[in-house]
Structure 1
Amino acid sequence: MAGRLDGKVAFITGAARGLGRSHAVRLAEEGADIIAVDLCGPLETVDAYPPATEEDLAETVRAVEKLDRRIVTAVADVRDGAVLAEVVSAAVAELGGLDVAVANAGIVSFGGTLELEERAWRELIDVNLTGVWNTARAALPHLVERGGGSLTLISSIGGLRGMPAVGHYVAAKHAIVGLMRTMANEFAEHGIRVNTVHPTNTDTDMIQNPGTYRMFAPDAPEATQEAALPAFRSLNAIPVPWVDPIDISNAVLFLASDEARYITGVTLPVDAGALVR
């Protein structure tokens, strides 16, 4: 059976590991060639978890090539719109077009409204909001040239509700929804569908490390759902502390596929019921 994305090319930011790698592999499984971009380095105010590395990005390459799909990678900062546009244009020229874009790159840091440092606010907004805008601006001209496509912005349950100690993150993720709704209107006439996906906590390096996971389960001998569940019991209606990356990637795949050909302007939660609590 043909894959749902046979003959397509997908551009994904934050693709070195975590959700980004999961999206790259899942879309490649369905036939897409991949453009994978990641910073692969530290950020000044993010110290709760280690940064992705170039070896992480190389592992994404190996995973995609194992599926017999092509992949073009670049180490680039989504905060630099000019560089990102150059990277995408060069990759599109190599792979022959662009059909799908996933603005996935994002960071998190922590602090209450009165405790959060201004530099942490600015860095997160620059990555999680301006970086999404830059990603869209790099991808959209190629989607228009292609005659249509899918642009998915990865938001969060924090893009649809308030959450303590991450006001900057929540602000950025809410703002992404506004961008999505605007672009869904602006680019519908070009056959481009624009949507957001809203994960609850997901099993990635953001939570599976001493800086964040241990904050919620400091006495746990290992990072398991069972150990973390008491701390997260009030978050999700379905009694799990987090979902898996594949759960988010399946939603991205659906929105990228012809199965969602008339779906645009949608905020799609993949949240184990967090938003109905």
Structure 2
Amino acid sequence: MAERLLGKRIFLTGAAQGIGLAIAEACLAEGAKLFLVDRDGALLRQAVAGLGAPNGDVGYAAADISDGAVIAAAVSQAAAEIGPINALINNAGVNVFSTPLDTTEDEWNRNFDVNVKGAWNCSKAVLPGMIASGDGAILNIASTHSFTIIPHTFPYPVAKHALLGLTKSLALEYAGKGVRVNALAPGYVETQKAIDYWNSFPDPDAARAATLALHPGGRIASAREIALAAVFMISDECRFMNAACLVADGGLSMLQHAV
């Protein structure tokens, strides 16, 4: 077993599927202990069983990250099961796509409750322990929506821009306490969400091909590729990276016009 994350005790949200599950698999393979959180308890239990981890290496709780008290309790449970948390990966998120004047108050609130408030609730819960120990890493899974705008995806990019603000603010606030806070911004990733999106078109294959054609390399990321980037950012290999955002989009956000 590789040991790039040996000694890391990671609290990971949105862990039951997609990028979150891929991150769990990659971190476990690198020697980390994990505490996994997801709103979908049944799917989370299935994911944990599929990991086949040794006893004591993985704990989990079904929890809503928008509820600060619930998350504080989950972090306490995590400390009891795998030890004090010294790494947090805020992966849980929700797509809320509309146009500005069509966005309802419920959509606005849901967008910020999960994509920003949820990340803050988790950060707030783990930061005291990290500060006390003088060591900690927080990684926020952002998006290329954090610095680009696709029309008709409002208010999702507003929240993702805010998530980068949270990342930088916490990073500079606690750098002197031994805590580093960074973000990872994937572009298109071949997850079930992407597949469901393509399947919403009359010709799913054509929709998928159109997405791939947007990219300089003619393909999109696998969830594992994003997970391996997350492993690096949580590991001690990048201890001097702080208040940064690593972009993993195959060059898409640098392309001014599709060819």
For the superposition of Structure 1 and Structure 2, which TM-score range results when normalised by the shorter chain? over 0.9
Residue 57 of structure 1 is matched in structure 2 by: 44
Give the gaps of 5 or more residues in structure 1. Answer: 41-53
1:207-226 matched pairs, under 5 angstroms: 207-209=194-196, 212-215=197-200, 217-220=201-204
| Matched length | 255
Q: Choose the corresponding residue for 1:268, options 238, 246, 251.
A: 246
In the other structure, the counterpart of 1:258 is: 236
Partner of 1:154: 141
Normalised to the residue count of structure 1, the TM-score between the two structures is 0.87
Q: State the SS of the aligned residue for 1:114.
A: helix
Q: Structure 1 stretches (4+) deviating beyond 6 angstroms?
A: none
Q: Percent identity?
A: 33
Q: Give the match for residue 18 of structure 1.
A: 18
3-state SS of paired residue (2:193): coil
CA-to-aligned-CA distance 1:115-138 (integer Å, 9 cap, x gap): 222211111111111111111111
Query: Are 1:237 and 2:223 matched, yes or no?
Result: no
- Cα 1:131–1:244 shift into 2, 3 Å: same
Amino acid at match of 1:214: N
For residues 168 and 97 of structure 2, the distance between their equivalents in structure 1, rounded to whole angstroms, comes to 28
Structure 1 equivalent of residue 126 of structure 2: 139
Aligned-pair CA distance for 1:62: 2.0
Q: Give matches, 1:51-90, under 5 Å.
A: 54-66=41-53, 70-90=57-77
RMSD: 1.8
Distance 2:137 2:130 in 1: 8
Aligned CA distance change for structure 1 residues 218 and 66 (closer, same or farther; 3 Å): farther
Alpha-carbon deviation of 1:156?
Answer: 0.2
Counterpart Cα distance in 2 of 1:272 and 1:68: 38
Q: Larger % of helix: which?
A: 2
Distance 1:68 1:18 in 2: 24
Residue 194 (structure 1) aligns with: 181
**Partner letter of residue 132 of structure 2?**
E
